[in-house]
Amino acid sequence: MTGNQLKILALITMTIDHIGVVLLPQYLILRIIGRLTYPIFAYMIAEGCFYTHSKKRYLGGIFALGFVCQIGFFLAMGSLEQSILTSFVLAIITIYAVQLADDRRDLAGALAVVGALALDAFVALVLPVLLAGTDFSVDYGFWGIMLPVFCYMPRIFFKKALDKKRLRTMLAFACLGIILVCVQMNDWLGGIQWFSLLAIVPLASYNGKRGTWHLKYLFYIYYPAHLVAIWGVAELLGYFSAM
């Protein structure tokens, strides 16, 4: 599968998952299907950090989208719960720090990694405690932030193009990251988070190529659009059921 095909698969499973959360919570199968979403996106974030021509633009685009979505969540529901985009932003910052450390191989690079990890821990672990009176939380928690970083790490060891050895190593690192996320979230989702490991199947078919489609801005448009659509349907159903 190409990177584009994996991203479209993740968008489909994400939509199914969110429909299960908001509209059809009685159908657990929808949430199970949705477990494939984050590992695939995490893997693609790692690839994006490697292939992007502009690190600032890549990070800035996801940060801007996340900022707008968080404002929307707060205005619509009064919620401080962080979206998947916050996890992505923190993961990208950490990967950039790893890249810097790999390039420089000095104290400044090491401090950049330590600083990024400290930021991740503060946002994912400390802030929820400090804001205990609110619903503040980071989607997929600390290990969710680390999953794209885990997927990126084999790039440090294998500098050449994607080959079977590096793909196997990336999948092994991805499995480890997914397992840590599952252990962390087991109590939250009643154990279904373990179905995330099934994402290794489509990821194993990744050929290292982007694909012929130009889908650079698809996620930026689709992510808020599908949330608005699902929220709108939920509001309409609530309105008609109250009549």
User: How confident is the prediction along the chain (243 residues), in pLDDT tens digits per residue?
Assistant: 899 999 999 999 999 999 999 999 999 999 999 999 999 999 999 999 988 989 999 999 999 999 998 998 888 788 899 989 999 999 999 999 999 999 988 999 999 999 999 999 999 999 999 999 899 999 888 989 999 998 898 888 766 555 666 667 777 778 878 887 777 665 555 578 888 888 988 998 888 888 787 777 788 889 989 999 998 999 888 756 666
Residue 86 has a CB neighbour count (10 Å cut-off) of 24
Best CA proximity match to 47, nearest among 104, 5, 103: 5
